[in-house]
Amino acid sequence: MQYTGATHSEEALRLLASVAEQLKFPLTSILRKAELGTLTGDLSLVDANAIQMHANAALTLVDSYLLGLQLLSSQQSLPLEPVSVSSLLVDVAHELQAMAKQYDMKLELHIGGKYEPVMAHRAGLRAALVSLGYALVESYPHAGGHIRLAVHRTPHGIVTGVYGDYQQINAAQWRTALDLKGKAAQPFTALTGNAGAGLFVAEAILQAMETRLRVSKYQKQKGLATTLQPSQQLHFV
C-alpha cells in the first residue's frame, strides 16, 4: 500500500501520538520501581527482571515504530521474499517469553503442520508479530491465562497471529480503533491497560506488505492475525 505525502504525514503523526501514549506505561513503571529502591535504600525491593522486561518492551516498540515509519515513507513497493512463518514464530516466541512470564501467563506455539514459505518482508513481519504479541500480552483480560502464537491455512492463504481469551473483541471495534488511533488514550476499548500502539505499529508494517491486521478466530480462541500468500518458490529463507 502506498501513501501520498499528506496521507503519510497524517498517518505518521497519529502513529507517533499512539506510541508516545503507550511509552508512558513502561517508563512510569521503571521510574516507580527505581524510586522505591532509592527511597527505602533497599535494592532488594527493585524488581530487576520487571525493569528489564519493561525497558525491552519500550525499546522494541520504538524500533518497530521506526521501521513502520520507514516503510510508510517509502514511495516504492516493499521488497518481499520467501519466508518460513514456522521458523519466524519460534523467534517471536523467544522474544515474548520474558513478558509472558512476568505477567504469569503461559505462552504456546501452535504450528499445525508443514507450511510452504510465504511472501513477506522478514524483518517487517517479525517486528509486526512481536509488537502484536507485546500488546496482547499486556492487555490480557485476566491473570494466569495463556496466549497462543499460531499459524494455520485457510482458503485465502496462510494465517498467522496471536490468540487467547479475547472473546470481547470484534471487527467493528478494531475498525473504530484504527480511526481513533492517536486521538484517544485508549482507542481499542475491547483491550484495557494500554494505548494499543503495538497493534497500530504492526498494522502499519503489514500494510507495507500489502496485507492487514484483522480480528481472527482459531480453535475457539480470538485474536488478531494477518493473511499471507504462499510463495511459488521452493526454497526457504
Q: Please state the CATH superfamily assignment of the domain spanning residues 1-237 in this structure.
A: Histidine kinase-like ATPase, C-terminal domain (3.30.565.10)
Beta bridge partners of 163: 148, 223
Q: How many CB atoms lie within 10 A of CB 212?
A: 14
- Residue 6: per-residue pLDDT: 39
- Residue 75: per-residue pLDDT: 57
- Residue 77: per-residue pLDDT: 60
Q: What is the DSSP letter of 165?
A: B
Closest alpha carbon to 143 in 103, 180, 107, 173: 103
- Residue 208: per-residue pLDDT: 85
Question: What confidence tens digit (pLDDT) does each residue in 120-138 have?
Answer: 999 999 999 999 999 899 8
The secondary structure of the chain in percent helix, strand, coil, rounded to multiples of 5, reads 50, 20, 30
The kind and range of the H/E element at 111 are strand 106-111
Q: Are 132 and 224 in contact (CB under 8 A)?
A: yes
| Strand, coil or helix: 159 | strand
Global pTM reads 0.83
Distance, CA of 34 to chain centre: 27
Beta bridge partners of 160: 151, 226
pLDDT along the chain (237 residues), means of 10: 50 75 76 74 69 82 83 69 95 92 91 90 93 89 86 95 92 91 80 77 89 94 95 60
- Residue 46: per-residue pLDDT: 65
